[in-house]
Structure 1
Amino acid sequence: MTDQSAEAEGERLTTREAADRLGVKPETVYAYVSRGLLRSRRAPGGRGSTFDAREVTALARRAGRREPQPAGTELAFRTGVTLIDPETGRYFFRGVDATELAGRYGYEEVAEWLWTGTIRPGTRFAAPPEALEAGCRAVAALPAHATSMDRLRTVTVAVAAADPLRFDLSTDAVLGTARSLVPTLVGALPVVGGPGPRGDGERDGLARGLWSRLTTQPPDAASLRVLDTALVLLIDHDLAASTLAARVAASARAHPYAVVSAGLGALEGPLHGAASGLAHRMLAEALERGGAAPVVADHLRSGRRVPGLGHRLYRGEDPRARALFALLEDVPRAGPALAAARDVVATTARHTALQANVDLALAVLSVSAGMPAEGGETIFAVARTAGWIAHALEEYAERPLRLRPSGQYHGPRPPQPLPGPAPTGA
Structure 2
Amino acid sequence: MPLLVMKFGGTSVGSLDRIRRAAKRVGVEVAKGYDVIVIVSAMSGKTNELVGWVSETSAMFDAREYDAVVSSGENVTAGLMALTLQEMDVPARSWQGWQVPVKTTSAHSSARIEEIPTEHLMAKFDEGMRVAVVAGFQGVSPEGRITTLGRGGSDTTAVAFAAAFGAERCDIYTDVDGVYTTDPRISPKARKLEKIAYEEMLELASLGAKVLQTRSVELAMRFHVKLRVLSSFEEYDENAGTLVCAEEDIMESNVVAGVAYSRDEAKVTLISVADRPGIAAAIFGPLSDAGVNVDMIVQNIAEEGRTDMTFSCPTDQVKRAERAMEEAKTSGEINYHDIVADTDVAKISVVGIGMRSQSGIAARMFEVLSNEGINIKVITTSEIKISVLIDRKYMELAVQALHDAFELEKAV
Greater relative CO, 1 or 2 (CA 8 Å, sep 6+): 1
TM-score by length of 2: 0.24
Query: Whose strand proportion is higher, 1 or 2?
Result: 2
Query: Whose helix proportion is higher, 1 or 2?
Result: 1
TM-score by length of 1: 0.23
